[in-house]
Structure 1
Amino acid sequence: MRRMTEEEGAPEQKPSPFLIRPMTHEDMPAVTALEQASFRNPWSPELLRRELDHDWSTILLVEEPQPDGTRKLLGLAIFWIVQDEVHVLNVATAPEQRRRGVARAVMDEVLARGRARRCVLATLEVRRSNEAALGLYKSLGFRPVGVRPNYYADEGEDAIVMVLDF
């Protein structure tokens, strides 16, 4: 587990209260519940299990320590590192935890892992209507490079393809 801290050069702030760690099979019930709470069309337990079992896929969980010693699941990211590229498949934040920096914390960790593996770029798709996510990704340095029409077939919504050059 890694406790997230502010990036070097950023204004002095207190460390993040979030813990970020890889998902295990024991986390499946909590992760499934997070997916269902976060999305109209959540990833199924079977799809999550397949991603968890792929060597090239990583699922990171964002947790917050609780006063009773337990940890509360706040969010997650699912991504691949293939050769010199990071591809982000899914970022989820529990609805009641949004606007607390959960997605930023996990994306910072995803990108740090890509840099450590000497990746040259990161890619992702995001719903055209997801203004909060678009704003986050732009603030991290991603730029829109294209559109995938009707990518989200459930509602016929386009995806904005975004790229970050390391």
Structure 2
Amino acid sequence: MRRMRDDSVPRGAPDFTIRQMMVADMPAVMALEKQAFKNPWSAELLQRELQHEWSTILLVEEEREACAPLLLGLAIFWIVHDEVHVLNVATAPEHRRRGVARAVMDEVLARGRSRRCTLATLEVRRSNEPALQLYKSLGFRAVGIRPNYYVDEGEDAIVMVLDF
């Protein structure tokens, strides 16, 4: 017999801090990338993204007593003209299913709206069902396939769009 969640208990938003990445964050971000992906972004790619005026890297952190904040996840996105393009969303494996990706995507989309963007786009692995469900819950819809987009694994990407 499965136990149902008690909906009478109020569930508040997670207490995460979201801020822009700085060069000093590179070691922690590289560690997260290596934990989250088989083929992580390189330090050179991340460094390049930090230098582009149209690119933003947001970090999701959780405060801890008597230590530095803990890096839980990140998002890398571009705002070009009236479009938000999400390049990368990562959550540390041990912190998945806590709302980290949703929190950072909410912030990405809020920044797009505040800049008067009209749409957001992203690609997601066909096999990444949790991400597909998250993006659909945020209002994204599938509009196409990029065959063999993830070349190392030979996996297709689903192209998704959200109209603001």
TM-score greater than 0.5 by the shorter chain: yes
Aligned twin of 1:37 = 35
Aligned twin of 1:82 = 80
Summarize the Cα distance change of 1:15–1:135 in structure 2 as closer, same or farther, 3 Å threshold.
closer
2:103 to 102, 105, 125: 105
Aligned twin of 1:5 = none
CA distance in structure 2 between the aligned counterparts of 1:128 and 1:14, rounded to whole angstroms: 31
The runs of 5 or more residues in structure 1 that have no matched partner are: 1-11
Identical counterparts, % of pairs: 76
Q: CA deviation at 1:69?
A: 4.4
Alignment size in residue pairs = 155
1:60 to 58, 61, 64: 58
Q: CA deviation at 1:13?
A: 4.6
AA paired with 1:139?
A: S
Structure ID, larger Rg:
2
1:154 to 152, 155, 159: 152
Deviations 1:15-58 (A, max 9, x none): 43100000000000000000000000000000000001111100
Aligned twin of 2:139 = 141
Equivalent position SS for 2:159 = strand
Aligned twin of 1:4 = none
CA distance in structure 2 between the aligned counterparts of 1:135 and 1:68, rounded to whole angstroms: 36
CA distance in structure 1 between the aligned counterparts of 2:128 and 2:66, rounded to whole angstroms: 35
CA distance in structure 2 between the aligned counterparts of 1:165 and 1:20, rounded to whole angstroms: 24
Task: Give the TM-score normalised by the residue count of structure 1.
Answer: 0.91
1:20 to 18, 36, 43: 18
Deviations 1:107-127 (A, max 9, x none): 000000000000000000000
Aligned twin of 1:71 = 69
CA distance in structure 1 between the aligned counterparts of 2:11 and 2:96, rounded to whole angstroms: 20
Moved more, 109-118 or 61-70: 61-70
The runs of 5 or more residues in structure 2 that have no matched partner are: 1-9
